[in-house]
Structure 1
């Protein structure tokens, strides 16, 4: 069993004993004080909160090894469960589609980004064969709330309020200035929205704070309806551009002057000490796109230190806002009846602000100091290699650096504090988990359309300290990069080489020793699994998509 817990009692589960002890203590206090009060039982339907970070790497929070100060997330981890082998879909749009529907992204119509194509798996928007968590829970009696980044097509008929959310505030697109509305590509329009209307940020706007402001407002308003609520809080932090508040940046200036190699090594040691990765794990080498720290000039070192200070400040501010959310739950008396799940949509991003894809004004802004609110910068390969410690590769690839997310679940009275699980799990599991906790049935049809069966497996039994069945296999594909995870084995390939490599995840999580030549039968068997999945999930070979796009341009 992969969930590390103290030895269990033969008759009672830990949770049962915990609840009995808590009740005895409460009764003792009642009799001691002479007070006559009733003990409120847990409600049948808990509030459910899913918090999604954007482009945050595996080791970017304190409880997963970071030097960045994240006390509120760390408290959730200490009081709940950490899952060390939880996977996303390696890119923003596919992950969001998969998380919300319990399907693989291609099945939901978002196998790539929001580029609209004719192929069923690549329509660039959620299709009519899926249902969102919000739609299912709304039919089950929940208030459904969302704040933050949508990025599942900005056509008005696909805004969050059309996909099951009662209330919405946030960014419909993929990225923006944290201080307002600032198009960064030629002929681009960006839209913040409040419910079903465009929203114009005013003076003093900072996106991370604003998302939380509206989330808290929605929760307070919903409290009056006497319904449980589902909140999907999708921060844009710490996605580029690197934008933070000076009060947060000041805490981190100078911390990164030791250089990326020493930072990766320090995170790696902490992760081993915390049990996030085994002691036997080897740290992957510095990425080939990252130069030796000693080769940089003093000015280059200072600029990178400033970038990382801003990046850390963005994660720090997100954590502060998660603290605000938890405080509001306590004030409303909802903290004990709320499950919170936290994760990131993909690994750290190597992307740079350069080339013809950006406007001249933005390219000029990319050369400014990242602490300047008028700047528009990214931390590129160097920062992403630190964020994804100890893994190889980045957002977009299906190696561990692209698909691994820190995952935390906190549910008082159900999840044993300080639990850790090393079983592989995936974002497709969040739909099944949410519905089981809510006691809501996944629909076979919705608004007259047949709905694809869920692909995920509920984590509820794992949360309760019981044996979890897990997955027979988990699959990945994005822009021709492919992978299969089956038990201890992982088969992975990169586009355009399209050559399978085989790794043992128990002994080599950092994917350093390719065993494909020694285990050809394992490669063949897992490749068959992948091919069968790709056929039923509407995956199209990426080379065909590229040719299709070229043909459309010629037409």
Structure 2
């Protein structure tokens, strides 16, 4: 500093001032440049896409063992990360609540379905004590879009545009015709919406295509904003009713006449060859609700082949649309700065359209062939047992067949191609992962409400090929069905028996060998962990929930 002072004294006053200004300008330029470099420009933050299938089983993708043609998702699995022990919450509404909020369903206010109850865990709508991924990313400079199935309460004040999404197109309810707005329960009003207004599908409408088209429209509108985007694309496919386009159905007609027994065995072998399941794993027996294929009449075989051809066509069309979305990203030059994560909301669904609660018109439509666009039918236990190969049970149960989903993460240049991971992960991890990718902070308060802490763990280290600590335990409860997974151990019970069974999932993910009598200390340890979690998450025993519903009906 002394040297500079001596130089300045020797200079004329005008030259001294000029030199000071030049040095100050250079110093300011360095400081500003450093500040700019320390911050990630919004345009360089990754676009985040989460794609959710509806009622799709663990083995329904080609890369997970299926005979269904899914080249686009298979390419993402080959070029990215495939996780084989990823979990949902076994039912549509709870999974959607957990996915969007990063907490367990009961903590999010959707511990059951959208039935409204006077209890904070079972309000049937998202709690004000949680935030959605969209709400957090919206506060952090992202454009936020959703297309597809909402199913988190159809009250106008609960629509997606009120929970952080800038644009929305889709179905507010749980299911609908893929071709038209068609109520299937008495006194029901099924509503498609565009942003904050009701929408009536027109001629030529097919839901899977429409969800993708609107997603692409929203992304294109965002191009001029120099903002990253978050897209939650929640397809209704392949949830019932089984509705597909004729050209897609034609590719699968006759392929299912070999029968579900042989098809399950073929999928099982492919899954082992692909490394999806262990070579030591066993295929679970055909479900007790499913008869032997050879016991069917020819008419029954043809009818099931028709159902499965339509179901496969629905998955196929969803994959085509994912390919269409990826092609648009590439055209826009956004493909290399976009992460796509894909999963299903629960396992294959055993549900039957003949069950009470459907209108007479719909029950009549259930008698038609699935390939008839005026039909309204499902693939029931027989199809779900195939979809959930090699596992037991279905949507709604906490056995592996109810809670296991294929999971694919594709992010060019970040996720190493061809990685397969077998660590347990859960849908609650997607909030944490999304915020980590976006460099966004999770709020302690939002709109004047204290927000519950996230329960998930970021998958970003795993995406980058680094060591991932994962979860100590993961917990499950739906309609009294319960489970805890800790490492390779899992306890699971079925309502109303409520008896814990114990499995070691290392070589028995099919849950065929109950070890509870051999390891009572492990059952006790895990059951105590469940009790502590149930208290923490404010879980109400299902029998009490049923009593609450009974009392509500009795009120004048």
Q: Verify the 8 A CA contact 1:56 1:239 in the aligned structure 2.
A: yes
**Partner residue of 2:281?**
281
CA distance in 1, matches of 2:240, 2:507: 34
**Partner residue of 1:451?**
451
CA distance in 2, matches of 1:223, 1:405: 33
**Partner residue of 1:264?**
264
Once the two structures are TM-superposed, the CA of residue 91 in structure 1 deviates from its matched residue by 0.1
**Partner residue of 1:391?**
391
1:427 paired with 2:427, answer yes
**Partner residue of 2:107?**
107
1:81 paired with 2:75, answer no
1:54 paired with 2:54, answer yes
CA distance in 2, matches of 1:140, 1:43: 12
| Aligned residue runs from structure 1 range 340-355, under 5 A | 340-355=340-355
1:177 paired with 2:173, answer no
3-state SS of 1:482 partner: strand
CA distance in 2, matches of 1:334, 1:447: 33
3-state SS of 1:147 partner: strand
**Partner residue of 1:68?**
68
Q: TM-score, normalised by structure 1?
A: 0.92
1:194 paired with 2:194, answer yes
Once the two structures are TM-superposed, the CA of residue 538 in structure 1 deviates from its matched residue by 1.1
**Partner residue of 1:550?**
550
Once the two structures are TM-superposed, the CA of residue 44 in structure 1 deviates from its matched residue by 3.8
CA distance in 2, matches of 1:400, 1:258: 26
Once the two structures are TM-superposed, the CA of residue 42 in structure 1 deviates from its matched residue by 11
Once the two structures are TM-superposed, the CA of residue 481 in structure 1 deviates from its matched residue by 0.1
Q: Deviations over 1:146-194 (max 9, x none)?
A: 0000000000000000000000000000000000100000111100000
3-state SS of 1:121 partner: coil
**Partner residue of 1:26?**
none
**Partner residue of 1:224?**
224
**Runs in 1 of length 4+ with deviation above 2 angstroms?**
41-44
| Aligned residue runs from structure 1 range 475-490, under 5 A | 475-490=475-490
Q: Verify the 8 A CA contact 1:303 1:369 in the aligned structure 2.
A: yes
Q: Verify the 8 A CA contact 1:42 1:337 in the aligned structure 2.
A: no
| Aligned residue runs from structure 1 range 314-325, under 5 A | 314-325=314-325
Q: Verify the 8 A CA contact 2:244 2:310 in the aligned structure 1.
A: yes
Q: Deviations over 1:435-485 (max 9, x none)?
A: 000000011110110000000000000000000010010000000000000
**Partner residue of 2:499?**
499
Q: Verify the 8 A CA contact 2:43 2:228 in the aligned structure 1.
A: no
- How many residues align structurally? 516
Q: Verify the 8 A CA contact 1:479 1:542 in the aligned structure 2.
A: yes
Q: Deviations over 1:376-435 (max 9, x none)?
A: 000000000000000000000000000000000000111100000000000000000000
**Partner residue of 1:14?**
none
Q: Verify the 8 A CA contact 2:44 2:337 in the aligned structure 1.
A: no
CA distance in 2, matches of 1:461, 1:111: 30
CA distance in 1, matches of 2:525, 2:64: 34
CA distance in 1, matches of 2:233, 2:43: 23
CA distance in 2, matches of 1:509, 1:389: 11
3-state SS of 1:122 partner: coil
Q: Deviations over 1:257-279 (max 9, x none)?
A: 00000000000000000000010
**Partner residue of 1:519?**
519
Q: Verify the 8 A CA contact 1:129 1:452 in the aligned structure 2.
A: yes
**Partner residue of 1:249?**
249
Q: Verify the 8 A CA contact 2:255 2:305 in the aligned structure 1.
A: yes
1:206 paired with 2:206, answer yes
3-state SS of 2:273 partner: helix
Mark the structure with the bigger radius of gyration: 2
3-state SS of 1:224 partner: helix
3-state SS of 1:413 partner: coil
Once the two structures are TM-superposed, the CA of residue 507 in structure 1 deviates from its matched residue by 1.9
**Partner residue of 2:469?**
469
Q: Verify the 8 A CA contact 1:44 1:438 in the aligned structure 2.
A: no
Q: Verify the 8 A CA contact 2:396 2:402 in the aligned structure 1.
A: yes
CA distance in 2, matches of 1:486, 1:451: 27
3-state SS of 2:476 partner: strand
Once the two structures are TM-superposed, the CA of residue 57 in structure 1 deviates from its matched residue by 0.2
1:362 paired with 2:362, answer yes
3-state SS of 2:68 partner: coil
3-state SS of 1:391 partner: coil
CA distance in 2, matches of 1:399, 1:225: 46
CA distance in 1, matches of 2:492, 2:356: 31
Once the two structures are TM-superposed, the CA of residue 311 in structure 1 deviates from its matched residue by 0.2
Q: Verify the 8 A CA contact 1:90 1:396 in the aligned structure 2.
A: yes
3-state SS of 2:121 partner: helix
CA distance in 2, matches of 1:208, 1:337: 25
Once the two structures are TM-superposed, the CA of residue 552 in structure 1 deviates from its matched residue by 1.1
Q: Verify the 8 A CA contact 2:108 2:129 in the aligned structure 1.
A: yes
Q: Verify the 8 A CA contact 1:257 1:301 in the aligned structure 2.
A: yes
CA distance in 2, matches of 1:186, 1:61: 35
| Aligned residue runs from structure 1 range 30-41, under 5 A | none
CA distance in 2, matches of 1:538, 1:122: 10
CA distance in 2, matches of 1:67, 1:154: 36
3-state SS of 1:82 partner: strand
Give unmatched runs, 5+ long, in structure 1: 1-40
Q: Verify the 8 A CA contact 1:43 1:337 in the aligned structure 2.
A: no
| Aligned residue runs from structure 1 range 15-26, under 5 A | none
CA distance in 2, matches of 1:355, 1:50: 32
Distance of aligned partners of 1:170 and 1:528 in 2 relative to their CA distance in 1, 3 Å threshold: same
**Partner residue of 1:162?**
162
Once the two structures are TM-superposed, the CA of residue 43 in structure 1 deviates from its matched residue by 5.6
Give unmatched runs, 5+ long, in structure 2: 1-40
1:331 paired with 2:302, answer no
CA distance in 1, matches of 2:66, 2:111: 32
